[in-house]
Chain A
Amino acid sequence: MKSGLNTANIVHHVEDITQNGLSKLRQYAIHHWVAYIITITLSLIALTLSLLFRDVISDSKYLFYYGTLVVSAWYGGFGAGLLSTVLVVIFTHLLPINQFSDLFAQTDDFLQIIMFTAIASLVSYLEYNRAQSALALKEAREQLEIILYGAADGITAQDDSAQVIFANEAAARLAGFSSAKEMVETPLSATRARMALFDEKGNPFKEEFIPSRVALWQGKPAQAMMRMVNQDTGEELWVAVKSTPVIDKHGKARMAINVFNDITALKRAEAERARLSAMLELQRQRLRNIVANVPGVIWEGSGGPGFDGQKIDFVNDYAEKMLGYALDEWRSGENFWEKIIHPDDFVRSQEQVTDIFRDGRTGIMQFRLIAKDGLVIPVEAHTAVMTDKAGAPIGVRGVLMDMTERKRSAESLAKYAEQLQRSNKDLQQFAYVASHDLQEPLRMVSSYLQLLERRYNDQLDDDAREFIAYAVDGANRMKTLINDLLTYSRVDRAEKAFEEVPLEGILLQVTRNLHMTINDTGAEITSDPLPIVMADSNQMVQIFQNLIANALKFRSTDPLRKPEIHVGVEVVNEGDQQEYIFCVRDNGIGIGQEYLERIFVIFQRLHSKAKYPGTGIGLAICKKVVERHGGRIWVTSVPREGTTFYFTLPVPVKPVPIKVVESTRKIQGDGK
């Protein structure tokens, strides 16, 4: 409590009191003419008495002057004493006495004067005494006040009606007053109204339990902790109050003395501690839950370096589930590990743990455990060393995870991969065989039929020639089909690694490949600036060539409507990946809505071979290539207006920027 106390104030107070001391009065008197007046007055009185009783005191004419002298000296100091002495001498030897006896002709008058003087003096003295006592009391009180003012605790005194009759500055400030004076002057009701009191539970403090009331009404000391809320400012503080009754001689409590101790800081610290403790407990609970529910064994062991020197101190509940040994068995003693680790793995894992312990690090180990029922369980162990404050290893802790599932799926994956590889190889061989051994007889059929025609042309009639034509044509188509099948099968088997392929270049190549048809049809091919993608360049040629060749093939039957083919691209966000959407748009004959899915199926054709040649594999190949590159392909079309094929390719993770030449370029038929 820091109220108005400071060094300057205390000094001032002390100075005051010194100034008002008894000794100060003396000093005051000494340096003041009052003392001399007193001296003179007393001397005159002594003279009068000497005159009156000169017959009685004839031999001791200084009798009355002794009193004068003493008083003068005591109150007046050396100066007054000296004056008194001088006056005595003057009065006793130098004054013509007889001349003054007329003054006292009337004994009555004389006596009255004496009486008056005496009484006056007595009254003055009593008055003076009283003043001195009051002064002494005030000084004593003020000294007490310094002591109380300096006290850090609030101290109040309440009378039996609980009105505050005394308060120090500390108490006044605690109670929300600006000074002790104000507190004392405020009636009880106002004081009560100023501060609302609450107990530790937060309930309003019942009056009969307030310590000062207990002291006053029950006459015994009491103490309590209260929370005080200032109704004017809203300020809150906690105080510890001790009240002691002052019992009078009848056994009744006349006064209660209260000491207030500001414990706000203490209380706050306590609340904080409680909060942290609750948080800690919550976290502990949480951890306990996690540890109990993790599907793995969490363990801690002290000692080392190897398993044989270790004792398991802690292990979670899962341990029992995993191996069937009770938790107590885990913690039973040294070298439980040897019991549960597969004998073939024990030495190796022992070495690894020893390394972890010695090198002070963490490690991942794999070994097998044997459950209580004999089941072998492969585990992956993440193990770490535990060190003391100095960094020396004191134990090991870790997690064991059941690898059975993981191993099983890894094994089946490996087996599946192997199967896949084998079947791929088989397919490859089959495809190769198909390409050779099937072609051979085909060539024989075709070539010899043709030879026949050549050699025996004259001897053949029209029918014969027609028959031969169909046969030869059949063989040719068979060859094309075989080739197409081979191409189709090769899409996925392509061993060429993906690389950065500039599609501008691909388009150029395709237009060169198709330049004859482009020229013959008078086609106009335009494109947006095309990006660079990660792909198989051969297959990129396949896609674009197939789509553009189709666009050229299925052009409008109107000879005035020249084929216009546009290759476009845009970037879209698909989830967290970016994609290019390419389109190849033509103004050809279009495709009916009901066929839009079918055309991607291998060998599906929508027209007769006479009208539009082709095996119907082009789009199937496109689909396969696009899917191999992680994209999708689809088509929209309006019959007689045109068709647009769309396909997507992923944007390379570090996209190479498109070199913008023009927004749309026209590519001429000769590929320039």
Chain B
Amino acid sequence: MGNETCFEAIKILLVEDNPGDVRLTREALKDSKLHNSLSVVEDGVEAMAFLKRESPYEDAPRPDIILLDLNLPRKDGREVLEEIKNDDDLRRIPVVVLTTSEDDNDILATYNLHANCYITKPVDLNRFIAIVKNIENFWFSIVKLPPV
């Protein structure tokens, strides 16, 4: 795994409640060099079920990276983050918090919960596409991910 991903798809879990943003992300990923497979859940509860492979996600693949929005219905992104990072197994999965807020308090809280990084979604599309590409590039071309 990791760098030899030319043939294997990168599994991305997107936790996002806004379908508009989901679509955008998908569009941005379309342009990427790397083959990737995107799973989407729309709230925190679903996210945890997916990661723990609970019903209805018994067959869910273990994601290589999680893109997490903070403001989610039912279970908030911050809670999800906390749970992931407290779980011995799940904590190794890099969590990229991708959210609207630029607020310092949010950023601080997020890093305190051990998010791997924090990115603010830009208004401009081109910049958004660039960011998504950068995420891929950084986390899958540069960074060495933990062996599964």
What residues make up the interface of A, taking CB atoms closer than 8 Å to B?
432, 435-436, 439-440, 442-444, 446-451, 454, 472, 475-476, 479, 483
Contacts and interface: CB of A to CB of B under 8 A. Distances in A.
A115 B123 CA distance: 174
Contacts of A472: 124
Contacts of B103: 432, 435
B62 interface: no
A617 to B, nearest CB: 16
A454 B122 CA distance: 17
A503 B54 CA distance: 57
Interface residues of B, number: 17
A450 B20 CA distance: 13
Given A436-B71, A440-B18, A450 B126 contact: yes
Contacts of A454: 125
B32 interface: no
A447 B123 contact: yes
B18 A475 contact: no
A443 B101 CA distance: 12
Interface in B4-57: 18, 20-21, 24, 27
Given A447-B125, A450-B124, A451-B24, 9 more contacts: A435-B101, A435-B102, A443-B20, A443-B122, A444-B20, A446-B124, A447-B24, A448-B24, A450-B125
B134 interface: no
Nearest to A431: B103
B102 A447 contact: no
B100 interface: yes
A443 B121 contact: yes
| From B24, B122, B125, B126, residue with most partner A Cβ within 10 Å | B125
Contact of B125 (A432, A446, A479, A483): A446
B128 interface: yes
Given A446-B123, A446-B124, A479-B123, A451 B27 contact: yes
26 contacts: A435-B100, A435-B101, A436-B71, A436-B101, A439-B100, A439-B123, A440-B18, A440-B100, A443-B21, A443-B121, A443-B123, A444-B20, A447-B20, A447-B24, A447-B125, A447-B128, A449-B125, A450-B124, A450-B125, A450-B126, A451-B24, A451-B27, A454-B125, A472-B124, A475-B123, A479-B123
A483 B120 CA distance: 13
B19 to A, nearest CB: 10
Contact of B100 (A436, A449, A451, A476): A436
Contacts of B121: 443
B71 to A, nearest CB: 6
Q: Which 3 A-B pairs have the closest CB atoms?
A: A450-B125, A447-B125, A479-B123
A493 to B, nearest CB: 11
Nearest to A442: B123
B110 to A, nearest CB: 14
B99 to A, nearest CB: 9
A451 B125 contact: yes
Contacts of B24: 447-448, 451
